[in-house]
Amino acid sequence: MLRNTRDGYGLVAIAFHWTIAALFVVQAGLGWRMSDMEDSLLKFSLYQWHKSFGLLILVLALMRLGWRLANPVPALPDTLRPWEKRAARATHYLLYGGLIIVPLFGWAVVSASPLDVPTLAFYLVYVPHLPVPVGEAAEATFAAIHGTLATIVAAVALLHIAAALRHHFWLGDDVLRRMLRPLAARRRPADSPAREGAPLD
């Protein structure tokens, strides 16, 4: 139930997936909205929340990577052609990588900024700066990389969503469903003797 099998995702992987997905949506919205705001108290607050959510995503993404390495990866449906499997795997690698690298570049922006604004994640946890060169130029460079990579990750995420919807509605396989409920939970009605005649998948 908690761990993955070759056939489906466990509860932990599913929780990681949707928690990070929700955080990423909030984070992208914040990042997009706050960057062109006028200097104000609201802008300052939004930056602090963006930093907090970004660090949370980084921590969760690293934990998620560890969990993935320690678990079997559910196989893709055999109905997929090799290029589709390769594309799916590449998308997943890009998302994993992006969810770690984008927050790191965000952290570098904060650390390089001559404004030297300290980080207190969620107003609770003090997070020191990264050892990067400090200055307007370094800050601008890191910010450009951070923004570009974030945009790429958002585009890959859209591709990932489109692919999931294609699997569900067009190809009719269980690729989306298995990220919604653990395999055991999906199997239960079928396994139950009370529901005779239910197809055993």
Partner 1 sequence: MTRWALCLLLLAVGLTEGAAQDQLLEQAAGRYAILPENSEIAFHVPAIAGRGIQGRFTDFDGQFVIDRRDVARSEVAIAIRPGSAATGQERVDRFVRGPSVFDAERYPEATFRSTAVARTGPQTAIVEGVLTARGVSRPIRLTATLLSLRGRDAAFEVAGELPRSWFGMQAGVPLYRDLVRLSVIVTGRRR
Q: Provide the H-helix boundaries in the chain.
A: 11-34, 41-69, 82-112, 136-165, 183-191
137 binds partner 1 (CB under 8 A): no
Describe the crossing of helices 41-69 and 82-112 by its angle, rounded to 10 degrees: 140
Q: What is the per-residue DSSP string for 27-55?
A: HHHHHHHHTTSPSSHHHHHHHHHHHHHHH
Q: Based on CB atoms, which residue is closest to partner 1, 43 or 92?
A: 43
Using CB under 8 A as the binding rule, the residues of this chain from 69 to 98 that contact partner 1 are none
Quote the least distance from Cβ 129 to partner 1, whole Å.
8
Quote the least distance from Cβ 179 to partner 1, whole Å.
38
Quote the least distance from Cβ 127 to partner 1, whole Å.
9
Distance, in Å, from the CA atom of 166 to the CA atom of 59, rounded to the nearest integer, reads 31
Do 99 and 62 contact (CB within 8 A), yes or no?
Answer: no
- Residue selected from 40, 81, 172, 194 as contacting partner 1 according to rule CB under 8 A: 40
- Residue selected from 36, 39, 78, 196 as contacting partner 1 according to rule CB under 8 A: 39
Q: Based on CB atoms, which residue is closest to partner 1, 116 or 191?
A: 116
Q: Which part of the chain contacts partner 1 (CB under 8 A), choosing from 14-22, 37-45, 90-98, 166-174?
A: 37-45
Do 196 and 30 contact (CB within 8 A), yes or no?
Answer: no
Using CB under 8 A as the binding rule, the residues of this chain from 111 to 130 that contact partner 1 are 114-120, 123, 126, 128-129
34 binds partner 1 (CB under 8 A): no
Quote the least distance from Cβ 148 to partner 1, whole Å.
22
Q: How many residues bind partner 1 (CB under 8 A)?
A: 16
H or E stretch at 119: strand 119-121
41 binds partner 1 (CB under 8 A): yes
Contacts of 60 (CB under 8 A, 6+ apart): 16, 19, 20, 23
Q: Which part of the chain contacts partner 1 (CB under 8 A), choosing from 36-44, 60-68, 96-104, 192-200?
A: 36-44
Q: What pairs with residue 127 in β-bridges?
A: 119
Residue 191 token pair: 């396994």
* Contact positions vs partner 1 (CB under 8 A): 39-41, 44, 48, 114-120, 123, 126, 128-129
